[in-house]
Chain A
Amino acid sequence: MRRKTLALSLLAATSAFATPGSGDLWEVTTQMSMEGMPAGMMPARTQQVCSAREWTKPPIAQDEKHKCDVSDWTNTPTKSTWKMHCPEEKMDGTGEITRTSPDAYTGVINMTSPHGAMTMNLAGKKIGPCDAEAAQAGREAQMAQVQAQMAAAQKAGDDAKAQACKATADAMDPRMLDMQAQVCESATYKPMLCAKASSDEGFKELKGRPADAENGLAAVAKYCGMDVAAKEKDLCKKAAAGESDLAYVARNCPDEAAPIAQRECAGRDYTALAGTKYAGFCATYAAAHPTPGASPAPADAKAKAKKTLKSLFGH
């Protein structure tokens, strides 16, 4: 809400060149950029503005509800500068307009606030005389358009931020969420992260990460207060019952995998089973659950391993 008000004040700046009576008709191009908003999010915009011939104050529209104090106003034939402070918005800024010729100027208004920095670049080109009163209605319409443009840009910025925070939560990496705590409110995104970590899909993904990783299962479980053992048990039961994820069962569920291996892998040749539903399961089981016991290096242990393996797998 505050950022919206800030935007309105700045947008009004362009139309503030106009005063009642005869004046100069300027074609003014504005380009707004905001901190945290992707470059080019808000395209340049060109308007015709009827403004007073002599500037006696900064080209800033004063919002009655959020009035800004102007100071250090200077005006020469070639340059106008000023400072501004908006107590309501806790916002400070500077403005500068340089007359590059009697019929043209460039300028920039920089504002800072607790919500970030905004910059508005200005370029004006005089295109003739104008009737300021008659232009008033047009200016108001133009202001409305720019206001809408600003609102859309701010919404896009907010959406981009929300999307980035959601992506961080989806990545299930507490470190990242902590690092972005000022942007991604923990109250919103921690539950989102933990909900994914608790889901079957998220839990399997965590199981696949290095155990000692800072975004690994143990770290995330601690962050979310998850009961890992209970989740593993539940997941193994579900995966084995429907054989929906045999690779997971082969690797993580010895109790559930053993009977499937005995039923589907025992005595099967790799070349015969390759390409079938159980090929991956049998291969993973063979690698992940080798013969229990001692190292194969000693002859007796190796003989034991060979004997046990041959009882389960074909050659």
Chain B
Amino acid sequence: MIPALLAAAAVAAAAAPAPTDPFPHAAASYVVAIDGQIVWERDADTPRLPASLTKMMTALLLVERDWDPNAQVKISAGAAKATGSRAGLKAGEVLAANDLLTAMLVSSANDACAALAEHAAGSASAFVERMNARAKELNLAATRFANPCGHDDPSQRSSAYDLAVLAEEAMTHPVIASIVSRVRATIRTAKGRKIEVKTGNHLLGRCEGTYGVKTGFTPGAGKCLVAAVQRGRTRVLVVLLDADERWWTAAGVIEMAFDEAHARQQR
């Protein structure tokens, strides 16, 4: 049995029923938490490829240590060549760190992600060391990072539970919480080139109360999603790993989670 996400919820967990698996085909792994308490889960401890959900850790590290949103970051040749989702940054361009963080979290831009990791630690590998150290601090037992942006790698792994904990931690930072709630944004290079970035989180603006956090997809990981939704005083966190119909599934699970929360209040 997985313990409650938050220490504050641990007391309540003692009296709470064990999480169940009412959606066995929704995803390879999933976690649904209501107000920090896991109510539904499947294979929540099994390590899997986390794809771009990795960027929650990247963002967390960036804002936790000496975060300067106005720091000028030069795009390296390596960062400009990042594959997968990209903001279209060019080698030699300079952008504010906050703009790169926005591109990384809103549109999951790997070029922005790589540039920020290099800027923060000097190299991607050095940044990855920090990521793994932070994962250990957070007791993310099933998590190990091999790169900062979520590219498939046999050594890159996390679990639905670990990612739920990571998401909760990341969302405590207003900088991250604010950015991941945005549907679109415009960033600018130092020379004034505008770049439009658009969220990959289709729940934003469509599923009532959704305020973040991150999507991910790689061939190895499949379609992944961490979604945070708040209605009234009730907060629901959904983590889906390798969910073929992640949007339909997430939307349905979220509705049921709020119904469940209502039912539990009446119990």
Contacts and interface: CB of A to CB of B under 8 A. Distances in A.
A288 interface: yes
B256 A306 contact: no
A209 B267 CA distance: 7
A306 to B, nearest CB: 5
Interface in B22-52: 23-28, 43
B177 interface: no
A313 B207 contact: no
> Among A247, A270, A275, which residue has the most Cβ atoms of chain B within 10 A?
A270
B78 interface: no
29 contacts: A209-B263, A209-B266, A210-B263, A251-B256, A270-B206, A270-B251, A271-B247, A274-B251, A275-B206, A279-B206, A280-B251, A283-B249, A283-B252, A285-B252, A286-B248, A286-B249, A287-B249, A287-B252, A287-B253, A288-B252, A290-B24, A290-B26, A290-B249, A293-B25, A295-B24, A302-B28, A305-B25, A306-B244, A309-B245
B259 interface: yes
Contacts of A282: 248
Interface string A205-239: 00011100101000000000000000000000000
Given A274-B202, A305-B244, A310-B244, A284 B264 contact: no
A283 B251 contact: yes
A291 interface: yes
Interface of A: 208-210, 213, 215, 247, 250-251, 265, 270-271, 274-275, 279-280, 282-288, 290-291, 293, 295-297, 302, 305-306, 309-310, 313, 315
Interface string B235-264: 000000000110111011101100100111
Given A283-B255, A288-B256, A309-B245, A208 B262 contact: yes
Given A270-B251, A271-B247, A275-B206, A297 B263 contact: no
Contacts of B256: 251, 284, 287-288
A271 B206 contact: yes
Contact of B24 (A215, A280, A283, A296): A296
Nearest to B202: A271
A251 B263 CA distance: 15
B206 A286 contact: no
Nearest to B206: A274
Given A209-B267, A290-B23, A270 B248 contact: yes
Nearest to A306: B244
A295 B46 CA distance: 15
B232 to A, nearest CB: 16
A306 B25 CA distance: 9
Interface in B65-81: none
A287 B26 contact: yes
A250 B252 CA distance: 10
A113 B156 CA distance: 76
A241 B259 CA distance: 24
A284 B255 contact: yes
A315 B245 CA distance: 6
Nearest to A275: B206
> Among B27, B207, B247, which residue has the most Cβ atoms of chain A within 10 A?
B247
A210 B267 contact: yes
B234 to A, nearest CB: 15
Given A271-B202, A287-B26, A287-B249, A208 B263 contact: yes
Contacts of A213: 263, 266-267
A309 B252 contact: no
A275 B262 CA distance: 23
Contacts of B25: 290-291, 293, 295-296, 305, 309
Contacts of A313: 245, 248
Given A208-B259, A270-B202, 20 more contacts: A208-B262, A208-B263, A210-B263, A213-B263, A250-B252, A265-B248, A271-B202, A274-B202, A280-B255, A284-B252, A284-B255, A286-B252, A287-B251, A287-B256, A288-B256, A295-B24, A296-B24, A296-B25, A313-B245, A315-B245
Contacts of B263: 208-210, 213
Contacts of A265: 248
A291 to B, nearest CB: 5
Nearest to A269: B247
Nearest to B256: A287
Nearest to A265: B248
Contacts of A288: 252, 256
> Among A271, A275, A280, A290, which residue has the most Cβ atoms of chain B within 10 A?
A290
Nearest to B266: A209
B245 to A, nearest CB: 5
A274 B207 contact: yes
Nearest to A290: B25
Contacts of A309: 25, 244-245
Nearest to B257: A287
A224 to B, nearest CB: 18
B28 A297 contact: yes
Contact of A279 (B23, B244, B251, B253): B251
A210 B164 CA distance: 25
A288 B263 CA distance: 17
Contacts of A251: 256
Contacts of A302: 28
